[in-house]
Amino acid sequence: MNNMISGKAYVLGNDVDTDQIIPAEHLVYNMDEPEERRLYGMYALSGVPPQKSGLPKGNIPFVPKNSDKSIYKIIIAGKNFGCGSSREHAPAALSIAGVQAVVALSYARIFYRNTVDGGFLIPFESKDSLFNKIRTGDEITIRQDMYILKNITTEKSYNLKSLGEVAGIVETGGLFLYAKRKNLISK
């Protein structure tokens, strides 16, 4: 596992659901076709409603128009990230858009499992709510071995919770690769 994740933060609030992460009308694309797969990145977070006042920076597009890649590599969110339906397209869409990690106060269980099992991105949990301490566009570094998030822009650091028992699966790149490496399934 690469020890550091660095990039710009994209800040969201509480209860971001899977239909906000990838709206249902965009679930028709074939993940195995490269041209269609990129559309998941293009429409990632396109269902997020305008942010309420009090959240950092207002409405900033996650993915630039006519692109499938975001300049934001780390999502900062509140509680219950990924709630709603059980679609595994949600963490895949974020990954296709270039997200490497989500840091949330808590996750919906199925989103968390889909993220870990598919090896899409790293789902860190923060010890405290960070979406009111970090602003969209801040430069962030996550030191994975120490579970420290540092906001380079403000020079403040925050502790993250350990990945615990899923660390090996995350490090390997998903449940299938982990099971192969551990000889739990045939190669």
pLDDT value at residue 186: 74
pLDDT value at residue 56: 45
Tens digit of pLDDT for each residue in 48-68?
A: 887 654 444 456 889 999 999
Distance CA 37, CA 141 (A): 28
Q: Where are the beta strands (DSSP E) in 53-105?
A: 72-76, 101-104
Residue 31 tokens read as 């993940």
More confident residue, 172 or 93: 93
Torsion of CA 177, 182, 185, 187, to 10 degrees: 70
Rounded mean pLDDT of the chain?
A: 90
pLDDT value at residue 130: 97
Domains of the chain: 4-162 (3.20.19.10)
| Whether the Cβ atoms of residue 98 and residue 69 lie closer than 8 Å to each other | yes
More confident residue, 153 or 61: 153
pTM of the model: 0.91
Calculate the CA 118 to chain-centre distance. 12
Report helix, strand or coil for 176: helix
Q: What does the pLDDT average to over 6-31?
A: 93
